[in-house]
Amino acid sequence: MKLSDLKIIVSGGAQGMGRHFAIRLVEAGASVAIGDVNEAGLAETKEAAKGPGKIFAKKIDVSKEDEVATFVDWAHKEMGGLNGLINNAGILRDGLLVKIDRETGAIKTLTKDQWDAVIAVNLTGATMLARDTVKKMAETGQKPGVIVNMSSIARYGNRGQSNYSAAKAALAANTKTWASEFASFGIRVGAVAPGMIETPMTQGMNQKARDALVAAIPVGRIGVPEDIWLAVKFVLECDYFDGRTIDVDGGLSM
């Protein structure tokens, strides 16, 4: 698809990669509906997006099913159609599943709240967004369409990220599943799996762990959102790409 033909939702559009994607899409002439829990960040993204395209912003908690349905209806109405989705919203609640406290010797575990929060946003929210976006496109007969799921190289497994790894692995698997299921609607589904990328999320990491990860990247640097945008752009534009996940990680293997 041509980027200028897109009427696309970008979840998690208030900062980081979501903001970068929205800006690039507007520059290319697309209509973009961004959603996030951070209303101030949404306003900043909207202000930063300049170009021939259009941008619309609305608060959404993707973990709430009713908000997802309302957001999709709103996006379709504001943009005058809907033919794309970038499933980008995500959070971290890292922690070892079981560990020994170094000071007290007590056994501590990852809490169910930590597990549930990540699964609710990173997997269930993404799934509901995909479901309701495709439903709207099917109802309106809109085709072709495209969905880009944001997975992660953590899907291969990463210490301290049982919840995040599970969610991102499931998104990669469902990229294949949904490509098969949505083909009859004229909708492609692809995924991009970033490695270590400079975003507010990674800036909040433990500095020692962050430094160790960056040092292990073969290309010698941390990634930036533009690196990931180039892969997302490929998935959006290449009509022969479907059901696959692209790793963009500088050669890093966690």
Q: Cα angle at 227 between 157 and 213, to 5 degrees?
A: 40
Q: How many CA atoms lie within 13 A of 21 on its CB side?
A: 35
Catalytic residue, chosen from 21, 71, 164, 182, is 164
H helix or E strand, kind and range, residue 78: helix 65-79
Q: Cα angle at 190 between 187 and 195, to 5 degrees?
A: 160
Rounded CA-CA distance 130/191 in Å is: 13
Q: Which are the contacts of 74, defined by CB distance < 8 A and separation ≥ 6?
A: 33, 58
Neighbours of 239 (CB within 10 A): 10
> Hunting for tokens 């059901």 — which residue is that?
243
Rounded CA-CA distance 63/77 in Å is: 22
Decide if 51 contacts 74 (C-beta within 8 A). Answer: no
Q: Is 156 a catalytic residue?
A: no
What residues are annotated to the active site? Answer: 164
